[in-house]
Structure 1
Amino acid sequence: MSKTDAQPIYAVVGSGYMGGGIAQVLALAGAEVHISDVDLATAENSRERLIAEAKQFVADGLFPQEAPALIEANLHADTLEDAVAHASFIAEAVPEKIDIKHATLRRIAEAAPADAIIGSNTSTILIRKLAEPISNPERFLGVHFANPSPFIPGVEIITHAGTDPAVVTRVRAIMAEIGKECAEVGDATGFVMNRLQYALFHEATQLVEEGVAGPEEIDTIVRTSFGFRLPFFGPFAVADMAGLDVYAFCYESLQTEFPERFATPQQLADLVAAGKLGTKSGGGFLPIPAERAADLISYRNRAYVELMKLLDKLGPAPM
């Protein structure tokens, strides 16, 4: 690394399962990373654990051969104040309790450089509430990794009303450097990731309580049917390919038993009324031109076949 390309300095406050994984990914990408926890001994133990984990990940074929050496060289254990003292980006990953986060974020803001970006890994707490104890709150936002953070590519970026757009741009660049794919979302309780996954979980538990199917059967249906599509397409792309008129009809059918729970979304009704039925009409929720439909279907079919090959290679999960 040249003198004109200085190694970035980052900090992760909270070195448990999520924070530790975030620190591994940042260190593996070549950053100097300082981790802290409730005390220095805990941070030091976490550092040793993360190096040992990296060695196991190499043995399992999950990390490159150089990962343990990179992480050992780039990862440092410190007190909170020392960890953030020279950091340009700080990830807060302490327990999901607002009083603990407020106290931690206040200490971070007081000890870090005034222009250091502070990102909370909160999964549900409003960013505008977490911003309250932070000086220069324009540098604060949510940077929500998914579990397990070394291996899941998606990251939610959540801004509050005062977040500087330049901060978002910089965080997007950092996430790209470590191989993550970002989506910027609004500051609503649960954000997007947890709103969606808990909605699915809630309906799944309803089906169990109603005696329609057991947990094992429901898991099988999810992973082998609509869940099989999700590595490649989100719900709007899936709906557009299926046909929004088909979706509207299915809503009407569901409403015969659950009129409120499955009320037709107004956006869906409006698109169908306007003749925007998805890929077959040249666009629905997403602007997919009709002339791309054949290529899209070809990609979809190849993707599903390749995923099936991967699942056959891996074999069933050791449940």
Structure 2
Amino acid sequence: MIAKTAVVGSGYMGGGIAQVLALAGRDVVLADVSAELASGNRERIIGEARAHAARGIFPPDAAERIADRVAAAPSIEDAVADVDFVEEAVPEVVEIKHQTLARISDACRPDALIGSNTSTISIGTLAEAVGGPERFLGVHFSNPAPFIPGVEVIPHAGTRPDAATRVVELLRECGKVGVPIADVTGFVLNRLQYALFGEAARLVEEGVATPEAIDLIARTTFGFRLPFFGPFAIADIAGLDVYEFCYQSLHGAYPDRFSAPGILTEHVERGEKGMKTGGGFLATPPERAGELAAYRDEAYAELTSLLQRLGEAPVDY
């Protein structure tokens, strides 16, 4: 079991990760470029926990639990000397991460796992600086770490097989969803996120819609589905033949930007058109259509009620 942990980089992301680990009953040692910064950020995350508890979004005793579990170390070496797992969360600059990971791997136990919270840098590239790279992998939390459940778990080619399994189990015990994926630049989350942003920016550049209008459409249409269904489930429900036709239309208008993915065309050519045929990217059979529709309708109604309760986000356009 991973019981003792360290977080190197105690800023907003690192502090949030420390909160997650501490609230799951793990001992956490914070480290940063100075003992004073680590100590100050320890006090900050305790104060944040107290404020979150007052709002009802953290457990009532969260501040006390974090204060009891989180310590600030005088140095990186002191922080990682006797822990089971280290999470590196320093700025997204290869040189800084290389320097930090070298110090971590030199100072921690040979059996300690080392994770990096990088959002886009290849884990194989970062592993070049790690002593004992077989225990190193990406563990990419999203912002804000205490409240976003999904975490990308990214072994590189040399990561030993049990490392990802142990980290996924730790994340599960922290109430998170660890998802193992392959090591490529940008991973999954940011490749999807930046693809969406790129097309949104082009729509503004072309005068099709304002940023406000695009955000409104995204939030109130397909974005409404995404908390419950991922892109492959949505495509299977709509029909892969429908998707292929839409890609043909888009390709005719924007040939440099849209073309049907080969994997989509292959499914359609095999007659695998999604849920209506009982096969597509997923395997949901047609007889579950009623059950799925009932779930969908209840989920969307609940989300509508939540948004009405919360009101509009404080974003100015």
List gaps (5 residues or longer) in structure 2. none
CA distance in 2 between partners of 1:313 and 1:303 (Å): 15
CA distance in 2 between partners of 1:290 and 1:238 (Å): 14
Moved over 6 A (4+): none
Q: What's the CA shift string for 1:278-297, capped at 9, x where partnerless?
A: 11110211121222222112
CA distance in 2 between partners of 1:291 and 1:216 (Å): 40
Q: Indicate the residue corresponding to 2:11 in structure 1.
A: 16
Q: Is the 8 A contact 1:12 1:22 kept in 2?
A: yes
Q: Which stretch shifts more, 249-258 or 148-157?
A: 249-258
CA distance in 2 between partners of 1:182 and 1:75 (Å): 23
Alignment partner of 1:254 is 2:260: no
Q: Secondary structure at the match of 1:182?
A: strand
- Deviation of 1:269 (Å): 0.7
CA distance in 1 between partners of 2:260 and 2:165 (Å): 36
Q: Secondary structure at the match of 1:256?
A: helix
Q: Indicate the residue corresponding to 2:294 in structure 1.
A: 298
Percent identity of the aligned residues?
Answer: 59
Q: Which amino acid aligns with 1:267?
A: I
Q: Secondary structure at the match of 1:259?
A: coil
Q: Indicate the residue corresponding to 1:91 in structure 2.
A: 87
Q: Is the 8 A contact 2:25 2:69 kept in 1?
A: yes
Q: Which amino acid aligns with 2:196?
A: L
The change in CA–CA distance for 1:7 and 1:104 in structure 2 (over 3 A counts) is: closer
Q: Is the 8 A contact 2:239 2:273 kept in 1?
A: yes
Q: Indicate the residue corresponding to 1:275 in structure 2.
A: 271
Q: Secondary structure at the match of 1:141?
A: strand
CA distance in 1 between partners of 2:57 and 2:188 (Å): 28
Q: Indicate the residue corresponding to 2:110 in structure 1.
A: 114
Q: What's the CA shift string for 1:21-67, capped at 9, x where partnerless?
A: 00011011111100000010000000000100001101111101010
Alignment partner of 1:169 is 2:165: yes
Q: Indicate the residue corresponding to 2:198 in structure 1.
A: 202
Q: What's the CA shift string for 1:96-118, capped at 9, x where partnerless?
A: 00000000000000110001000
CA distance in 1 between partners of 2:249 and 2:121 (Å): 36
Superposed, which structure 2 residues align to 1:54-203 within 5 Å?
Answer: 54-78=49-73, 79-203=75-199
Q: Which stretch shifts more, 35-44 or 255-264?
A: 255-264
CA distance in 1 between partners of 2:32 and 2:261 (Å): 45
Q: Indicate the residue corresponding to 1:214 in structure 2.
A: 210
RMSD across aligned positions (CA): 1.0
Q: Which amino acid aligns with 1:168?
A: A
Q: What's the CA shift string for 1:258-309, capped at 9, x where partnerless?
A: 1231111111111111111111110211121222222112111111111111
Q: Which amino acid aligns with 2:94?
A: I
Q: Which amino acid aligns with 2:80?
A: V
List gaps (5 residues or longer) in structure 1. 1-5
CA distance in 1 between partners of 2:149 and 2:14 (Å): 15
CA distance in 2 between partners of 1:274 and 1:297 (Å): 26
- Deviation of 1:7 (Å): 8.3
Residue 235 (structure 1) aligned to one of 220, 231, 238: 231
CA distance in 1 between partners of 2:306 and 2:174 (Å): 25
CA distance in 2 between partners of 1:61 and 1:160 (Å): 39
**Number of corresponding residues:** 314
Q: Which amino acid aligns with 1:201?
A: F
Superposed, which structure 2 residues align to 1:47-58 within 5 Å?
Answer: 47-58=42-53
Q: Is the 8 A contact 1:28 1:71 kept in 2?
A: yes
Q: Which amino acid aligns with 1:17?
A: Y
